[in-house]
Chain A
């Protein structure tokens, strides 16, 4: 496929060239904003821009139409330079109704462009959104560039010939606006046309109506003179490393990483799960990949989901379960059992704002304590974190590798932001990945269930069906040598120690911590984990350009921590740890290294903005000769 878009010069004028743009689509939950956003993302990637996206939707499936709590949004940042976040501030807001305008206007850049469907700004719509007067008339939009179009009327005209009723006709509004935005940025419509034809294969009239709406929106841009003499924009292609690319959302890459991990371990996979936002998409993706030897089991609850996965590991598959914080809480007792019987298990936690139900569709990183410490008794396990959509693939493989190598549960942390966000991803060459094939224990001589590998301390994995190795395991403490039940005091000390040592030894089998940017003798290091990667990375590179001596380290391995991390951090005058929680990694680092780590925290259900991290860097370094 070609990576060059056809740039049509509009009306004899020149398109203005922009380095990067942030567009936010906002509308009712039923307006198809996520779909519109993903189509625009796709065409943007094909144009050769780098990009990052942020779907931001409510927990209510279909809140009453026109209300502020039913507003769903999709933000995309794209440009001719490397794009690391979905953007601090939208430059363009597409608002499908008054509620969408009300909820999203505050975030818009001063002087930014607002495109509204004026057809939805009637008295009733305004009242529903909580407006006392019409913002299109009362001056609240002064200071912005506003394009008012009666999209509702225009779209009905465009689809009239297909015989759709008013309701179905208006459903094509999102495609009309997408067409207009395509014109605005000089995008090729064909991939979306192809997609619509495929999606509505069985309903050709619906496909045709949507395509007509898309074309009508595009034609409108070409022919109507827009205010501010807007002639469309051109965003140049980014310098992107040569290779084959695709768009990937975090949940998808994570699912593929688990499939790949099971293949590298040469084991069938068992995935036990229970629906919960934002983790369910993993279950959906894996359920369609059964040809890879994946059994997916939608259990009756979170507990059964993890227990069935542990049962599968006991029987010789790679047991995996996934959930979000509240579901992980329910799985906790079973995870303790997996630690006690030392079976491999991957537990994916797609974190969301909490506690309790919290804000299910909003992102947060507040389950780090739960992952590292959140079980009864001394019960260490391995914790690994993904830092972006594409990175989920490698993080998932790493979780599988450590689970089978050390016969241990591994908690794999992702979050709502990573799970839903999409980015262009250079497709890796899978043949270069190192295999870690599992060998079950089959030798009867000298066997006991807790026979350990001298190097890793992992116990022998002997699966039911193996002759002469019948044995019993369970949650009761076992004798170190025989594996029989033991209440012996010193034996419990020894077994507790060995469970601790086994996890500590993982640090010998993971890479040392490296710096993403900066030098080991810089003044300040920003240490992050998970989805804050993009914002930290961009903030650090911006500040380095301004002469600040700031470095960036980002943790893949949360527990155990990389061996050199303490020394690395001590080399800096200051350590700042930005987190979407109240300072959890900061506490862990302080406890481990007795080191002054300054937390930078945010719990608003939204990712960090680049400028928030830049401000923290400035506060830390200004006046210190930076």
Chain B
């Protein structure tokens, strides 16, 4: 074992000597800090961790993390990461992507990575805008977003990243916020602990092209009512005074917001979060302002029996132990041959 694995790691050990080049005030700084803290807490030796990214502001992330890093091409990071993980399953593989990279040009790869359930961690920095290409509307931009490519307001309906992830078979789905420094490292740790693809959407403020787009969720004055922090086994309560909760109407199969103490509502009427419940996760993921709070935390964590990479390794092992042809010579001489 080398020296690095013997010492306890700190967030600073994960900083590189490179000057960070995001715009001052960008939400990415806070996420970088959160990830460095999470990595230190997780404690995997730095050389056994790889960060893979595509293209975009978020994709510069690997340059600022003192691990192995591969900055690839637009939208394809999941495919590179799959090749890396299958080639060396002992590596901790993290993917950093933005909403354009992950959901537009790379949507196909995200879908297939999730359905295959490759044991990697996928971080989606969602700022609802293309930053690096100077501010065009993205697949998560809200209807009516005015941008250089949509001067009259965007007209294509946005998609919900977490709903999409659950829809294509993700077994771990979580949502965090860039400035949620207390919470984010914990979510990332749980994502890392999950065997299989962990999908984490992080709401991230783009100070230049989409400033305060999440203001209706994150402003301190309203955050209590606009966010619900879900925890496995705990009632789904929220509100500044923790006096609101989510109820399920069994007749309509719809969620509703209830106030404790009003109309005889008690805590017993409030749903308890079960992170293994796919249907609940879908409803939580779909909740949006202004009628509902936005769900933050681990919405779904329900590992499959086997990850894709484990199944691949298993098939390799079976082939090695059961093959009748084991050398190139045997291979070339297999089947029907004749001598002249």
- Closest residue to A429 on the B side, CB-wise? B329
B232 within 8 A of A: no
Contact B109 A300 (CB under 8 A): yes
Residues on the B chain within 8 Å of A118, using CB: none
A618 within 8 A of B: no
User: A49 to nearest B CB, angstroms?
Assistant: 11
Total A residues in contact with B, Cβ cutoff 8 Å: 72
B108 within 8 A of A: yes
Contact A241 B328 (CB under 8 A): no
Partner of A245, one of B62, B82, B319, B339: B339
Residues on the A chain within 8 Å of B336, using CB: 1, 42, 46, 191, 246-247
Partner of B86, one of A42, A48, A307, A312: A312
- Closest residue to B313 on the A side, CB-wise? A295
B63 within 8 A of A: yes
Contact A290 B337 (CB under 8 A): no
User: B171 to nearest A CB, angstroms?
Assistant: 18
* CA of A240 to CA of B339, assembled, Å: 10
Q: Mark B172-200, 1 if CB is under 8 A from A, else 0.
A: 00000000000000000000000000000
A414 within 8 A of B: no
Contact B323 A312 (CB under 8 A): no
- Select the stretch in A27-35, A466-474, A579-587 that faces chain B: A466-474
Partner of B316, one of A290, A311, A463, A476: A290
* CA of A315 to CA of B49, assembled, Å: 11
A289 within 8 A of B: yes
Contact B67 A470 (CB under 8 A): yes
- Closest residue to B333 on the A side, CB-wise? A427
Contact A1 B339 (CB under 8 A): yes
Residues on the B chain within 8 Å of A1, using CB: 336-339
Partner of A300, one of B70, B80, B112: B112
- Closest residue to A247 on the B side, CB-wise? B336
A468 in contact with B2 given A3-B339, A309-B83, A474-B62 (CB within 8 Å):
yes
A82 within 8 A of B: no
Contact A464 B63 (CB under 8 A): no
A317 within 8 A of B: yes
- Closest residue to A244 on the B side, CB-wise? B339
Q: Mark B1-36, 1 if CB is under 8 A from A, else 0.
A: 010100000000000101000000000000000000
- Closest residue to A260 on the B side, CB-wise? B328
A240 in contact with B79 given A268-B87, A312-B84, A312-B86 (CB within 8 Å):
no
A12 within 8 A of B: no
Contact A315 B91 (CB under 8 A): yes
User: B90 to nearest A CB, angstroms?
Assistant: 7
User: A550 to nearest B CB, angstroms?
Assistant: 30
Would you list which residues of chain A between 289 and 318 have a CB under 8 Å from chain B?
A: 289-293, 295, 297, 299-301, 303-305, 307-317
Would you list which residues of chain B between 65 and 95 have a CB under 8 Å from chain A?
A: 66-73, 76, 78-84, 86-88, 90-91
User: B56 to nearest A CB, angstroms?
Assistant: 12
Residues on the A chain within 8 Å of B90, using CB: 465
User: B142 to nearest A CB, angstroms?
Assistant: 29
B304 within 8 A of A: no
Would you list which residues of chain A between 437 and 480 have a CB under 8 Å from chain B?
A: 463-476
Contact B73 A333 (CB under 8 A): yes
A616 within 8 A of B: no
* CA of A473 to CA of B67, assembled, Å: 11
Contact B62 A472 (CB under 8 A): yes
Residues on the B chain within 8 Å of A45, using CB: 338
- Closest residue to B329 on the A side, CB-wise? A430
A559 within 8 A of B: no
Residues on the B chain within 8 Å of A259, using CB: 328, 331
Residues on the A chain within 8 Å of B331, using CB: 256, 259, 289, 292
* CA of A405 to CA of B45, assembled, Å: 30
Residues on the B chain within 8 Å of A464, using CB: 47-48, 50, 68, 84, 88, 91
Majority DSSP secondary structure for residues of A touching B = mixed
A337 within 8 A of B: yes
Contact A474 B79 (CB under 8 A): no
Contact B332 A465 (CB under 8 A): no
Would you list which residues of chain A between 235 and 289 have a CB under 8 Å from chain B?
A: 240-247, 256, 259-260, 263, 268, 270, 272, 289
Contact B72 A475 (CB under 8 A): yes
- Closest residue to A47 on the B side, CB-wise? B338
* CA of A246 to CA of B338, assembled, Å: 6
> Could you count the A-B residue pairs with CB atoms below 8 Å apart for me: how many are there?
203
* CA of A245 to CA of B312, assembled, Å: 35
Contact B340 A243 (CB under 8 A): yes
B52 within 8 A of A: yes
Contact B68 A471 (CB under 8 A): yes
Contact A241 B335 (CB under 8 A): no
User: B115 to nearest A CB, angstroms?
Assistant: 9
A511 within 8 A of B: no
Residues on the B chain within 8 Å of A308, using CB: 79-80, 82-83, 86
Contact B319 A295 (CB under 8 A): no
A428 within 8 A of B: yes
* CA of A469 to CA of B46, assembled, Å: 10
User: B313 to nearest A CB, angstroms?
Assistant: 9
Residues on the A chain within 8 Å of B82, using CB: 297, 304, 308, 311
Residues on the A chain within 8 Å of B46, using CB: 470
- Closest residue to B77 on the A side, CB-wise? A307
Residues on the B chain within 8 Å of A307, using CB: 72-73, 76, 79-80, 83, 109
B240 within 8 A of A: no
A291 in contact with B66 given A268-B87, A310-B80 (CB within 8 Å):
no
Contact A315 B84 (CB under 8 A): yes
A141 within 8 A of B: no
A153 within 8 A of B: no
Residues on the B chain within 8 Å of A245, using CB: 337-340
* CA of A333 to CA of B325, assembled, Å: 37
A311 in contact with B80 given A244-B337, A475-B71 (CB within 8 Å):
yes
A334 within 8 A of B: yes
* CA of A243 to CA of B339, assembled, Å: 6
Contact B84 A244 (CB under 8 A): no
Residues on the B chain within 8 Å of A471, using CB: 68-69
* CA of A428 to CA of B331, assembled, Å: 11
Contact B332 A474 (CB under 8 A): no
A291 in contact with B323 given A256-B332, A304-B76, A464-B47 (CB within 8 Å):
yes
Residues on the B chain within 8 Å of A313, using CB: 83
Would you list which residues of chain A between 416 and 438 have a CB under 8 Å from chain B?
A: 427-428, 430-431
Contact A315 B88 (CB under 8 A): yes
Can you offer 25 A-B residue contacts whose CB atoms are under 8 A? A1-B336, A46-B336, A240-B340, A244-B339, A246-B333, A256-B331, A291-B319, A291-B325, A295-B312, A297-B83, A299-B112, A303-B79, A307-B72, A308-B79, A311-B87, A315-B88, A316-B88, A317-B87, A337-B72, A427-B337, A428-B332, A471-B69, A472-B62, A473-B71, A474-B63
Nearest 9 pairs of A and B residues by beta carbon: A474-B71, A311-B83, A291-B323, A308-B83, A290-B319, A307-B79, A472-B69, A311-B80, A304-B79
Interface residues of B (CB under 8 A from A): 2, 4, 16, 18, 45-48, 50, 52-53, 55, 62-63, 66-73, 76, 78-84, 86-88, 90-91, 108-109, 111-112, 312, 315-316, 319-320, 322-323, 325-326, 328-329, 331-333, 335-340
Interface residues of A (CB under 8 A from B): 1-3, 42, 45-46, 48, 191, 240-247, 256, 259-260, 263, 268, 270, 272, 289-293, 295, 297, 299-301, 303-305, 307-317, 319, 333-334, 337, 341, 427-428, 430-431, 463-476, 484-485
Known pairs A246-B332, A291-B326, A314-B80. 13 more at Cβ < 8 A? Answer: A242-B340, A244-B340, A246-B338, A303-B109, A307-B109, A310-B80, A313-B83, A316-B87, A467-B4, A470-B67, A472-B71, A473-B70, A474-B63
